[in-house]
Amino acid sequence: MKLSIRILTAILAIIMLVPAAVSCANTNDPEDTKGDAITTAPEAGNQQTNPEEVETQITSNIPADLKFTGETVKILYWQDVENPEFFVEDTNGESVNDAIYTRNERVQDQFGITLDYTGTPGNYNNQAAFISTCLNSTQSGADGHDIFAGYSMTGATLMTQGLAQDLTQYPIIELNKPWWPATLIEKATIRDGIYFTSGDISTNYLYMMYGTFFNKDMFIDIHGEHSVLYDLVHDQQWTLDKFIEYCTGVFLDQNGDTVASEGDRFGFTTINIHFDAFYTGSELSTVVTNEEGSLILSEDFYSQKATDLVTKVCAFLHDSGDSWILNNSTIFSQSQALFTIDRVHLASRHLKDVDFNFGILPIPKYDLNQENYRTCMAFPFTTYVLSVAAPAAEAAAATLELLAYQSYLLVTPALFEESMKLRYADAGDDSLMYDIIRQSVVIDLGRLLTTQVNNYSYSIFRSAVNSNAAGSWDSSKKANGRLFERKIDAVNTAIEKLG
């Protein structure tokens, strides 16, 4: 495969069009595992809780004879992405690697185009540089990029900066098809336009789903048969209270130092960047749209339910004695915790060689009144944008659609079925749990707009839980909420200029 891979070696540091939130207002990386990160999250979308309802034979309507005249489609991507997604040099026998290679080959062969990938840093801490490179690209004429593929927050930034095309203007992009998740399309639709998207086209979209992992062997030793957990999920009774109940009393001073420390056994362990999953899992959102299509702060943010959630989670994490939330994410993999909450790529990254059996469950519901499970998305997945100055716009739009469709056919099955459900899950129950987690993904518009809203979409809740500030939650929530609303107003003003 002739992929022209060019790594940019010089990028502008900060461009004045990038919101101040990226460069100076709040530089705490929401995915940083060091220090006291501050955070919040969530929102809802269409969900399916029955895996048997998922259609697997959907086909694309791309004309079989559609060809372009040798165009090169140029894609600028964030090279510091956490898991392989965009291209690979060759096949190597590894299923996901080979699926990515085959996908790209099929796209090039079917359309008669060349995919030209250019990598540049673009993770949370490099957003400003990535946006700057995108802006520079739009001013480069025929040498510019057609597609920008960046860290999840950058799609909305590119939209508000006027650098993204409305994808609904290209009928070949079938945004109602399953390779473009309904929950994302719903939340990314701004005044009838869709300026960024994700889904099967991004391997990291699947890797970054949140789940609840548990140590099966430890559960059996402490509570008995672990199948009760799967029964709770199927019966819609896997709730926060039930989760806390199973964590309670698990602490064991294994190293005999009479204080909670890394050598002990805990009911639950996680790090503060994962607190977001509790908020989203409780069916709470941050930013929604009103009847006029404008963005507003969700009523959930000021709700009694949000207050009660902070109170309950703080008491469990800080006062129960059964939780360990300091900056050590290896406690669970060392068989020193019964439960952990993390992105599902924990299984492939850190649990491949553990000496215990583990299982996975959805994030617990807030209570029995909540109808569905809600899966939070961690930030490091990719949003795709069609540049306003794309030199080969029609070919690029078709490429986006075919990349997504071929990912749906090739990459997702390889990643989801083999790498996640089968290779790293040791029972059929766990495979089914992965299905439920995937079908319960919801997208919070506030999280997509995190950069534009000065990180308030994750920082307020996460900071309160991290600092055990349940007592001051209401007052701080109101003060921060007013600042949050001002940032949302600024986003609305930017959106109005899109035409």
Q: How far apart are CA 266 and CA 151, in angstroms?
A: 34
Region of poorest pLDDT, from 127-136, 332-341, 435-444? 435-444
* CATH superfamily, with its number, for domain 6-207+381-439: Periplasmic binding protein-like II (3.40.190.10)
Average pLDDT, the chain: 87
Residue 68 has pLDDT above 90, yes or no: yes
Q: Which of 419, 344, 345, 365 is nearest to 234 (CA)?
A: 365
pLDDT digits (tens, 9 = 90+) for 175-220: 999 999 888 888 888 878 899 999 999 999 999 999 999 999 999 9
Name the CA dihedral angle for 433, 436, 438, 443, rounded to a multiple of 10 degrees: -130
Average pLDDT over residues 271-289: 95
What the block records as the tokens of 496 is: 């109005």
pLDDT of 57? 59
Q: How far apart are CA 202 and CA 207, in angstroms?
A: 9
Is-same-fold flag (6-207+381-439; 210-377+446-496)? yes
pLDDT of 17 above 70: no
Q: What is the pLDDT of residue 328?
A: 65
Regarding the domain delimited by 210-377+446-496, which CATH topology (the fold level of the hierarchy) does it fall under?
D-Maltodextrin-Binding Protein; domain 2 (3.40.190)
pLDDT band at 498, cuts 50/70/90? confident
Window from 12-21, 164-173, 261-270, 371-380 with minimum mean pLDDT: 12-21
Burial of 241 (C-beta count, 10 Å sphere; 0-12/13-18/19+): middle
Task: Give 131 or 499, the one with higher predicted confidence.
Answer: 131
Q: pLDDT tens across 315-364, in order?
A: 999 999 999 987 766 899 999 999 999 999 999 888 988 999 999 999 99
453: nearest Cα among 495, 498, 411, 392: 495
**C-alpha 125 chain-centroid distance:** 17
**Does residue 12 carry a pLDDT above 50?**
no
Rounded to an integer, the average pLDDT of 413-426 is 79
Residue 233 in contact with residue 361, Cβ under 8 Å? Answer: yes
The larger pLDDT score, comparing residue 155 to residue 5, is at 155
**Residue 491: in which H helix or E strand, if any?**
helix 473-496
pTM given for the model? 0.86
pLDDT at position 423 is 75
Mean pLDDT on 390-417 = 95
Give CA–CA dist 337/265, Å, rounded. 6
Nearest to 430 by CA among 206, 157, 213, 141: 213
Q: What is the pLDDT of residues 363-401, one digit of tens each?
A: 999 999 999 999 999 999 999 999 999 999 999 999 999
Residue 457 predicted with pLDDT over 60: yes
Domain ranges of the chain: 6-207+381-439, 210-377+446-496
